[in-house]
């Protein structure tokens, strides 16, 4: 392999492709594209690109890259997802029936569902507006040459035949053919799984979804819009999605079992109330519906969507783009954060503090300054180090660059060959001293002293071989050290301290010198910074690497492939891993991590594969994302317990009624009142409240171990009260009195469940429980509300008996919840 394409990674051959949009992609080659993708090739591009007239002509013909890369669902999809649900269909049918056979009071549950659906739609639309606005800010804007002038344009404005310029970190957004190259190296691993970069030559194919790791060039767009098959895959891979979330998967699992419980229970209840009991038909219908409706946890999905949507809006205000919604949840579950030093702990810019001449170099310092200036000019897309050198030593000599080798994260150095004004020729390399110098070289000792101060050191060395020679680093003559100072992010130390307080392990993995990385980490008081590891000494076996990673926190000289391997090794130990980065060397690790976080000022490639993009480039935003995720997970766990407690007691009550062959104790209006006061309104506030609890796994298990015993206790207390009332009351109004007593018991037990879930108490949570209790009390004492809800306590014996039974049930709830908490600690 040509030296420019050679890497220091040990890829082990082909690896699994990273893009998986549900469509198989044969080896990425034009022949693998469907027939519709073989578009008439455009004529060869002129060096100046298309003219304005040619662009207008192609737009008129529809040859535009019009595939929208959406960050959120469309308005139609949002409305459809909120309106056309299985439970809405069931409740809608029951609502229509109730409108014909019962007073409007018994149809209130339908209006609640309409209101809930409207709230869900409005919140998702607000989230969509936020996301779409942020997506435009974070959108890749390729550089296109038209009329001889290069300008950045939107991806959707590219037309067939456009000449698109490329540089390190750029993402290839359409398919095309290479026209110009300058050491152009392309990483196609997201498409093919091959980790080694590919050196491109004029005439080679460029595929959308790949990205530039080194060098530069230009290519002509040969397939745009929906005809660029790989573009569609890349779009699918990074579009906003509501899937692959433990929270949502858990809720779907719960709903599936609820449906299976509902079907036989509802059939039995219908038969019991309509056939076995010889009651008034309309009253039987009303009580049957009253038994079925509360089995449905209709608000649970709504509040989950609202909680996520509000999270997106809150983070959007902090300039945080959530490209995949579950990333909010995922980062809250993370227990290891891998940080790239440059651009994350340090700011992107650097300053040259010193050029230190080496003994025996045989050149003047002024000559070295000229060389550095020429090297800065030789790279059209310099990295941060070369930009600092270019700023410090502008090129004022007439040196002509005859060949160049762009910087690569795998190589750790760059180079260029020059024709000097005096007629001589020279080739220079600039890069990592410990890569360019042989082991044990005395110069490395003084470099280590500088690294211990947190300074970045590059070695300027004169090569004796051509840039395309595989052994070009052999026999070089070390000339000077270029010392650069990195700027620490002012908020980095506080952010690292936050993660430490939250028991989240922080690991710094950087391509820079290990000693230098350790010094930077030490300045930020990162635990373990004194034991920095040179990644070149790490074992290649995943299990052995995982053990090595467990014992250290700071790693230097990490290659891009090693970053990926380190993420996999940590995951193999059961860790949930987040990776942050901003450069092309971070792309593979970002894509493989459980959560990828990219800086807004980072490369287009990193932004494309990350789930979260910090558009304000502030590492300090991450605690907000973690806090938002914890709020969502913790609060949804709380409200899910509320909803499923209702489902459990509703199903059990229906079974008890069927087995006992008695009238169902409640009308729909009673359960609408109870659901609103003990679940609906409180759940809305609890779902959106602050919550700093650390996210725990096994959502379904954690919810059901509380909801099932709570529902059983509530159903038992309610049915006992109902049977006791049936033996106590007699006469034509007995059923209403029995229902009122049962309703009182069920409310008291349910409000106690709410009071447990609301813990730990704050002033507003105490106020919430008190307000709901007051609301029920008002219904019991205001005459017209008594009539509206058909609730009137008769006598004192049964009401006090209901209170006594509820008190026993509340004591049982306390014992069960405490036992569960001890038996199954979080």
pLDDT of residue 192: 61
Position 803 confidence tier, pLDDT thresholds 50, 70, 90: very high
332: phi then psi, degrees, rounded to nearest 5: -70, -20
**Same domain? 784 vs 745:** yes
Residue (of 522, 524, 506, 505) closest to 514 by Cα position:
522
pLDDT of residue 798: 92
DSSP 573: T
**Same domain? 293 vs 404:** no
Q: CA angle 597-602-604, nearest 5°? A: 95
379, 407 Cβ separation under 8 angstroms = yes
- pLDDT at residue 38 tops 50: no
| pLDDT tens by residue, 657-714 | 888 888 888 888 888 899 889 988 898 888 888 777 777 777 888 888 899 999 999 9
Please state the three-class secondary structure of 236-277 as a single string: HHHCCCCCCCHHHHHHHHHHHHHHHHHHHHHHHHHHHHHHHC
Return the sign of the alpha-carbon dihedral for residues 433, 437, 441, 442: negative
pLDDT of residue 6: 35
Mean pLDDT, rounded, of the chain: 80
Position 44 confidence tier, pLDDT thresholds 50, 70, 90: low
**Same domain? 296 vs 373:** no
810 vs 813: CA distance, rounded Å: 5
63 vs 158: CA distance, rounded Å: 9
| pLDDT tens by residue, 752-800 | 999 999 988 899 999 999 999 999 999 999 998 988 888 888 888 999 9
| pLDDT tens by residue, 482-507 | 998 877 888 888 888 888 888 888 99
Q: Is 753 part of a structural domain of the chain? A: yes
- pLDDT at residue 724 tops 90: yes
**Same domain? 412 vs 474:** yes
Residue (of 431, 816, 788) closest to 645 by Cα position:
816
**What three-state secondary structure class fits 108?**
helix
**Same domain? 259 vs 199:** no
Mean pLDDT across 49-73: 77
Which CATH number do you get for residue 219?
A: 2.70.150.10
460, 449 Cβ separation under 8 angstroms = no
Q: Is 200 part of a structural domain of the chain? A: yes
Q: Is 338 part of a structural domain of the chain? A: no
- pLDDT at residue 629 tops 90: no
Tell me which of 488, 513, 542 is where a domain ends. 488
599, 606 Cβ separation under 8 angstroms = yes
510: phi then psi, degrees, rounded to nearest 5: -135, 155
Bridge-partner residues for 163, per DSSP?
145, 220
Which CATH number do you get for residue 98?
A: 1.20.1110.10
| pLDDT tens by residue, 258-316 | 888 878 887 887 777 766 555 666 777 777 777 777 777 777 777 777 777 788 888 88
Position 237 confidence tier, pLDDT thresholds 50, 70, 90: very low
- The tokens of 453 are what? 């101060």
Instruction: Count up the domains in the chain and report the number.
Output: 3
pLDDT of residue 321: 81
274 vs 100: CA distance, rounded Å: 17
**Same domain? 701 vs 780:** yes
pLDDT of residue 42: 56
Q: Is 494 part of a structural domain of the chain? A: no
pLDDT of residue 2: 39
- The tokens of 649 are what? 């007691």
Tell me which of 437, 470, 488 is where a domain ends. 488
- pLDDT at residue 240 tops 80: no
pLDDT of residue 754: 94
Element housing 352 (H / E): strand 346-357
Element housing 525 (H / E): none
**Same domain? 213 vs 257:** no
**Same domain? 79 vs 49:** no
Instruction: Name the residues annotated as catalytic.
Output: 340
pLDDT of residue 396: 65
pLDDT of residue 585: 74
pLDDT of residue 13: 37
Mean pLDDT across 239-252: 62
Residue (of 444, 430, 617, 604) closest to 534 by Cα position:
444
DSSP 480: E
430 vs 379: CA distance, rounded Å: 12
320 vs 310: CA distance, rounded Å: 13
**Same domain? 111 vs 29:** no
Position 187 confidence tier, pLDDT thresholds 50, 70, 90: confident
Q: Is 425 part of a structural domain of the chain? A: yes
Radius of gyration of the chain (CA): 33
How many Cβ atoms sit within 10 Å of the Cβ of residue 49? 24
- pLDDT at residue 361 tops 80: no
Which CATH number do you get for residue 421?
A: 3.40.1110.10
pLDDT of residue 133: 66
Q: Is 667 part of a structural domain of the chain? A: yes
**Same domain? 81 vs 59:** no
633 vs 324: CA distance, rounded Å: 16
pLDDT of residue 19: 35
- DSSP E strands in 123-261: the ranges are 143-146, 149-152, 163-166, 175-187, 198-199, 205-206, 211-223
Tell me which of 454, 488, 522 is where a domain ends. 488
| Total-model pTM | 0.69
pLDDT of residue 763: 92
Return the sign of the alpha-carbon dihedral for residues 238, 9, 179, 36: negative
**Same domain? 667 vs 785:** yes
Q: Is 337 part of a structural domain of the chain? A: no
Mean pLDDT across 712-736: 89
406 vs 372: CA distance, rounded Å: 14
390 vs 378: CA distance, rounded Å: 10
Q: Is 775 part of a structural domain of the chain? A: yes
125 vs 72: CA distance, rounded Å: 10
User: Which domain range does residue 190 map to?
Assistant: 3-63+160-223
Position 1 confidence tier, pLDDT thresholds 50, 70, 90: very low
- pLDDT at residue 197 tops 70: yes
637 vs 492: CA distance, rounded Å: 32
**Same domain? 55 vs 84:** no
Residue 757 CB burial class (10 angstroms; 0-12, 13-18, ≥19): buried
Element housing 662 (H / E): none
């Amino acid at each position: 392999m040509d030296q420019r394409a050679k890497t220091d990674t040990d890829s082990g051959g082909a690896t699994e492709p990273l893009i998986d949009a549900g469509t198989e992609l044969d080896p990425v080659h034009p022949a693998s594209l469907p027939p519709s993708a073989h578009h008439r090739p455009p004529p060869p591009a002129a060096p100046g690109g298309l003219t304005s007239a040619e662009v207008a002509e192609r737009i008129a013909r529809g040859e535009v890259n019009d595939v929208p890369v959406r960050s959120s669902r469309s308005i139609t999809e949002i409305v459809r997802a909120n309106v056309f649900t299985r439970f809405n269909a069931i409740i809608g049918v029951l609502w229509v029936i109730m409108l014909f056979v019962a007073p409007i009071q018994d149809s209130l549950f339908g209006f609640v569902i309409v209101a809930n659906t409207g709230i869900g739609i409005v919140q998702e639309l607000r989230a969509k507006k936020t996301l779409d606005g942020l997506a435009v800010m974070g959108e890749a804007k390729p550089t296109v040459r038209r009329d001889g002038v290069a300008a950045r344009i939107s991806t959707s404005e590219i037309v067939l035949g456009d000449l698109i310029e490329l540089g390190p970190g750029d993402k290839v957004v359409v398919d095309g053919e290479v026209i110009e190259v300058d050491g152009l190296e392309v990483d196609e691993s997201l498409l093919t799984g091959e980790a080694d970069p590919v050196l491109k030559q004029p005439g080679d194919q460029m595929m959308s979804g790949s990205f530039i790791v080194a060098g530069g060039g230009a290519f002509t767009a040969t397939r745009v819009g929906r005809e660029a098959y790989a573009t569609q895959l890349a779009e699918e891979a990074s579009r906003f999605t509501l899937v692959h979330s433990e929270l949502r998967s858990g809720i779907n699992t719960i709903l599936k079992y609820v449906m299976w419980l509902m079907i036989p229970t509802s059939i039995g209840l219908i038969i019991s109330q309509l056939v076995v009991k010889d009651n008034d038909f309309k009253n039987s219908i009303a009580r049957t519906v009253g038994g079925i409706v509360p089995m449905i946890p209709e608000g649970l999905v709504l509040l989950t969507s609202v909680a996520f949507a509000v999270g997106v809006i809150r983070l959007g205000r902090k300039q945080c783009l959530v490209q995949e919604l579950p990333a909010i949840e995922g980062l809250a579950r993370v227990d290891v954060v891998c940080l790239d030093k440059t651009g994350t702990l340090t700011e992107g810019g650097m300053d040259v503090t010193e050029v230190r001449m080496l003994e025996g170099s045989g050149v003047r310092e002024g000559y070295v300054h000229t060389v550095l200036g020429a090297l800065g000019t030789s790279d059209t897309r310099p990295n941060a180090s070369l930009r600092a050198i270019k700023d410090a030593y502008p090129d004022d000599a007439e040196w002509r660059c005859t060949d160049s080798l762009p910087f690569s994260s795998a190589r750790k150095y760059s180079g260029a060959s020059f024709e000097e004004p005096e007629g001589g020729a020279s080739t220079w390399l600039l890069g990592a001293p410990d890569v360019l110098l042989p082991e044990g070289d005395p110069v490395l000792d003084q470099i280590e002293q500088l690294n211990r101060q947190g300074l970045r050191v590059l070695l300027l060395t004169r090569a004796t071989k051509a840039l395309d020679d595989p052994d070009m680093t052999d026999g070089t003559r070390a000339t000077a050290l270029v010392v650069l100072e990195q700027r620490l992010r002012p908020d980095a130390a506080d952010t690292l301290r936050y993660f430490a307080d939250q028991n989240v392990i922080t690991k710094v993995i950087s391509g820079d010198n290990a000693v230098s990385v350790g010094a930077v980490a030490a300045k930020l008081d990162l635990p373990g910074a004194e034991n920095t590891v040179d990644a070149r000494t790490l074992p290649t076996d995943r299990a052995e690497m995982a053990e090595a990673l467990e014992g250290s926190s700071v790693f230097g000289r990490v290659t891009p492939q090693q970053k990926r391997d380190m993420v996999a090794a940590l995951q193999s130990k059961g860790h949930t891993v987040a990776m942050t980065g901003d450069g092309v060397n971070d792309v593979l690790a970002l894509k493989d991590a459980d959560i990828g976080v990219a800086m807004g000022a980072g490369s287009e490639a990193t932004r494309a594969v990350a789930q979260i993009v910090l558009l304000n480039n502030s590492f300090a935003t991450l605690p907000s994302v973690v806090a938002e995720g914890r709020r969502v997970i913790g609060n949804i766990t709380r409200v899910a317990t509320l909803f499923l407690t209702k489902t459990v007691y509703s199903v059990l009550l229906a079974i008890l009624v069927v087995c006992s062959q008695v009238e169902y104790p409640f009308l729909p209006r009673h359960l609408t009142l109870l659901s609103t006061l003990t679940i609906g309104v409180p759940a809305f506030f609890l779902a959106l409240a602050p919550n700093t609890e650390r996210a725990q796994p096994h959502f379904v298990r954690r919810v059901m171990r509380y909801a099932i015993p709570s529902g059983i206790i509530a159903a038992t207390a309610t049915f006992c009260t109902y049977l006791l009332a049936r033996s106590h009351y007699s006469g034509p109004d007995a059923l209403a009195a029995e229902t009122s007593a049962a309703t009182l018991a069920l409310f008291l037990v349910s409000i106690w469940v709410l009071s447990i879930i609301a813990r730990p108490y704050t002033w507003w949570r105490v106020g919430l429980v008190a307000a709901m209790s007051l609301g029920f009390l008002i219904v019991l004492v205001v005459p017209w509300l008594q009539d509206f809800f058909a609730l009137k306590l008769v006598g004192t014996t049964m009401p006090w008996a209901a209170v006594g039974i509820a008190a026993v049930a509340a004591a049982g709830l306390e014992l069960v919840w405490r036992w569960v908490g001890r038996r199954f600690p979080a």
